[in-house]
């Protein structure tokens, strides 16, 4: 409080507000610009002559009689079957988050309650695994997946994403469980519970804030993945991000850039909502590892 | 928790990591020492009334039996590592002998795919990481001095560039910097050069990718530092103020030392993430001017005939790079854990 009571000089105040405004524009403007532009025709979205056309939609009006059009969305979602990619993403994300939380909760809890040396080394191994770029593993997946005939399927990709997710989720849940006092489950075990019963009856009811945060980050990893999904999924099982990448090749040449723009905006909306509703959990998750040091 | 209970709790996650991280790792190492079998050719002289011709046909049966007997492929040792697409020892030695100057040597290295990718990846890591820390810190200090309501709003919007899918984020910027997009045409006006294109030259492409990298990652540093600022000890700040420290001195001598462990954390995460730079190169269609290690792996796997051995070799080299990058951290942890040594 006291430090804020001393007034800042006007110049400094101006500098701070100017900088914050600049960052605000840098961070938010590209998204709003593209969202607005996704309802225009290509000549408005890319309006070299007069940039105000992108806002007013002069060419869009000339073509459709209105300054907004859903043509890009119609083309992407129906003609190019983006809905299929959307539902694939939903399936992949749902099962990845569910599985990865289930097994990482058990593992993270065990790591936080085991005082043995190997639990430390397991965490270090997880850190090294976390550092590996996922794409370096992909060429190792392909030969067995071809041999067992499971390449291209959603379940295969889900399992791979779960595994790639584990190191990070494990770390996060480990540090979360360390904040839950050991006495809680120890006293349950004194009363005659087994370790698993103590986990079920004492820890599960209080673990949800940490699990939700870890779930958000597993979701983001699965949702944002490009390297693994693009190579491991067949054409009809593609999720949104590889689908958008494939739009780049096909629609650009056919003059349907607006399909890609509409698809990109469609992929952003769920993330927008996620940040809107879970801002607090995201921030606490980002700082969880850091605060522990 | 005893060993047995620990085992059962940890078993599912360990199984997932062993099957889909550890085994693929051994698999790529083995792939990198094997090349796919060449087809077995049958050479026969076929004579007809017009003369004799030598005809070559593929012996499918023999090829198949060779593949069955050695499913991993042909053992080639370090041959793939030393070929032109990877470490290219012969070419490098030749360049070194015929070099006119050291920069000339570096620019001829740039013609070799692996070194080219390595050059961009390292530049990206070295430039983006400190910039992210610097910008994150400035944004955190600025936002922290705002009014309470504005703070929440700024955190919300700052999260967007980081949360958004890297490919999608880079596409959005790619369309804006297009010569017909708002930033691209704005820059043309600004420099009064109607042919200016950020995609045309290597230098500008690198700058674009680095700007994207900072834009994408600065929010992460911001959030971490912002959280750290909430715990700066008020008493220390006050006593510094009483002792007559200026605002700048307060930041330099109280706030930054308090944030130092967080800087190390952000640097570690950023080194790992920037080293795998890949999606922006696809999003900005920048492969003509900038490639990264992850990108060349992707390029090998994405071919019509998947070049798995080549991709696996680059993967192994990339992983060695990651381990070298992490080595300081690992050594420090090791020392902390074994203080007697």
Percent of chain B scoring above 90 in pLDDT: 39
Residue A124 CA, distance from chain mean position: 24
User: Environment class of residue A32 by beta-carbon count within 10 Å: exposed (0-12), middle (13-18) or buried (19+)?
Assistant: exposed
A260 contact B CB<8A: yes
Spell out, as residue ranges, where chain A has pLDDT lower than 50: 1-5, 292-293
Q: How many CB pairs under 8 A join A and B?
A: 277
Q: Is B165's CB within 8 Å of A2's CB?
A: no
Q: How far is A252 from chain B (nearest CA, A)?
A: 12
Chain B hits for A20, Cβ within 8 Å = 139, 142-143, 146, 150, 154
B245 contact A CB<8A: no
Least confident of A84-98, A103-117, B33-47, B103-117: B33-47
Residue B252 has pLDDT above 70, yes or no: yes
Q: Is A135's CB within 8 Å of B294's CB?
A: yes
Which pLDDT belongs to residue A2?
42
CB-nearest partner of B276 from A33, A133, A274? A133
Average pLDDT of every residue of chain B: 87
Torsion angle, CA of A151/A153/A159/A161, rounded to 10 degrees? 90
Q: Which of B5, B8, B17, B238 to mutate to test the interface with A (most CBs of A within 10 A)?
A: B17
CB-nearest partner of B9 from A47, A107, A287? A107
Q: Is A46's CB within 8 Å of B181's CB?
A: yes
Least confident of A11-15, A214-218, B120-124, B167-171: A11-15
Which pLDDT belongs to residue A84?
92
> What's the CA gap between B281 and B119, in Å, rounded?
14
Which pLDDT belongs to residue B89?
87
Residue B136 has pLDDT above 90, yes or no: yes
Chain B hits for A127, Cβ within 8 Å = 326, 329
B280 contact A CB<8A: no
Which pLDDT belongs to residue A253?
64
Give me the interface pTM, i.e. the ipTM.
Answer: 0.90
Q: What are phi and psi of B41, to 5 degrees?
A: -105, 145
CB-nearest partner of A128 from B247, B278, B326? B326
Which pLDDT belongs to residue A290?
56
A171 contact B CB<8A: no
Distances (CA, A) of B116 to A10, B86, B287: 49, 10, 11
Q: Which of A161, A168, A182, A290 to mutate to test the interface with B (most CBs of B within 10 A)?
A: A290
User: Which stretches does DSSP call E strand in chain A?
Assistant: none
Please write the tens of the pLDDT for every residue from B272-329: 999 999 999 999 988 889 999 999 999 999 877 788 889 999 999 999 999 998 888 8
Q: Which of residues 24-43 of A touch B (CB under 8 A)?
A: 24, 26-28, 30-31, 33-34
Q: Is B237's CB within 8 Å of A135's CB?
A: no
Which tokens hold the place of B96? 């070194």
Please write the tens of the pLDDT for every residue from B1-11: 788 889 999 99
Which pLDDT belongs to residue A293?
39
The DSSP code for B19 is I
In degrees, to the nearest 5, what angle opens at C-alpha A251 toward C-alphas A249 and A255? 125
Chain A hits for B143, Cβ within 8 Å = 20
Which pLDDT belongs to residue B341?
43
Which pLDDT belongs to residue A11?
85
Mean pLDDT of B177-189: 85
Which pLDDT belongs to residue B294?
94
Q: Between B161 and B64, name the one with better pLDDT.
A: B161
Distances (CA, A) of A192 to A62, A115, A185, A186, B1: 77, 21, 11, 10, 15
């Amino acid at each position: 409080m006291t430090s804020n009571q001393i007034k800042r000089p006007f110049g400094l105040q101006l500098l701070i507000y100017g900088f914050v405004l600049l960052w605000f524009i840098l961070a938010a403007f590209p998204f709003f610009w593209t969202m607005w532009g996704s309802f225009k025709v290509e000549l408005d979205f890319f309006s070299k002559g007069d940039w105000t056309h992108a806002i007013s939609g002069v060419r869009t009006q000339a073509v459709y009689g209105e300054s907004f059009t859903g043509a890009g969305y119609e083309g992407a979602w129906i003609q190019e079957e983006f809905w299929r990619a959307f539902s694939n993403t939903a399936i992949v994300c749902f099962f990845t988050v569910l599985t990865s939380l289930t097994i990482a909760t058990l593992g993270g809890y065990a790591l936080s309650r085991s005082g043995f040396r190997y639990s430390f080394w397991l965490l270090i191994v997880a850190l090294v695994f976390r550092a590996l770029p996922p794409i370096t593993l992909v060429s190792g997946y392909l030969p067995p997946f071809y041999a067992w005939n499971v390449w291209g399927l959603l379940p295969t990709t889900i399992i791979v994403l779960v595994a790639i997710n584990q190191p990070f989720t494990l770390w996060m849940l480990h540090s979360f469980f360390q904040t839950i006092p050991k006495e809680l489950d120890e006293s349950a075990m004194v009363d005659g519970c087994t370790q698993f019963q103590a986990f079920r009856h004492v820890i599960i009811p209080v673990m949800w804030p940490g699990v939700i945060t870890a779930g958000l980050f597993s979701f983001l990893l699965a949702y944002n993945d490009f390297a693994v999904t693009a190579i491991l999924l067949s054409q009809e099982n593609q999720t949104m991000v590889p689908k958008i990448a494939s739009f780049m090749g096909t629609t650009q040449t056919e003059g349907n850039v607006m399909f890609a723009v509409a698809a990109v905006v469609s992929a952003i909306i769920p993330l927008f909502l996620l940040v809107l509703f879970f801002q607090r959990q995201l921030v606490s998750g980002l700082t969880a590892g850091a605060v522990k040091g | 928790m005893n060993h047995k209970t620990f085992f059962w709790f940890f078993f599912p996650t360990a199984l997932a990591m062993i099957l889909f991280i550890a085994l693929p790792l051994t698999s790529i190492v083995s792939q990198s020492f094997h090349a796919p079998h060449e087809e077995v050719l049958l050479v026969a002289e076929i004579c007809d009334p017009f003369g004799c011709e030598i005809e070559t046909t593929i012996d499918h049966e023999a090829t198949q039996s060779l593949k069955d007997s050695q499913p991993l492929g042909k053992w080639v040792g370090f041959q793939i590592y030393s070929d032109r697409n990877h470490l290219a020892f012969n070419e490098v030695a030749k360049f070194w002998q015929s070099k006119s100057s050291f920069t000339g040597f570096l620019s001829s290295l740039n013609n070799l795919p692996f070194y080219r990718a390595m050059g961009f990846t390292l530049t990206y890591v070295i430039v983006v990481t400190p910039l992210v820390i610097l910008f994150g810190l400035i944004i955190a200090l600025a936002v922290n001095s705002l009014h309470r309501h504005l703070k929440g709003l700024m955190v919300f919007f700052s999260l967007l560039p980081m949360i958004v899918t890297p490919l999608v984020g880079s596409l959005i910027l790619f369309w804006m910097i297009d010569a017909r997009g708002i930033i691209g045409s704005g820059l043309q006006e600004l420099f009064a050069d109607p042919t200016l294109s950020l995609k045309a030259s290597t230098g500008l492409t690198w700058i674009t990718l680095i700007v994207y990298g900072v834009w994408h990652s600065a929010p992460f540093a911001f959030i971490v530092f912002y959280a750290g600022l909430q715990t700066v000890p008020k008493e220390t700040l006050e006593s510094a103020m009483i002792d007559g420290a200026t605002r700048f001195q307060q930041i330099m001598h109280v706030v930054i030392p308090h944030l130092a462990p967080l800087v190390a954390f952000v640097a570690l995460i950023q080194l790992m993430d920037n080293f795998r730079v890949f999606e922006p190169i696809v999003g900005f269609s920048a492969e003509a001017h900038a490639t990264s290690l992850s990108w060349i792996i992707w390029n090998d796997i994405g071919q019509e005939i998947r070049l798995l051995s080549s991709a696996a070799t680059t993967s192994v080299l990339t992983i060695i790079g990651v381990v070298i990058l992490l080595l300081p951290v690992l050594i420090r942890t090791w020392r902390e854990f074994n203080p007697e040594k």
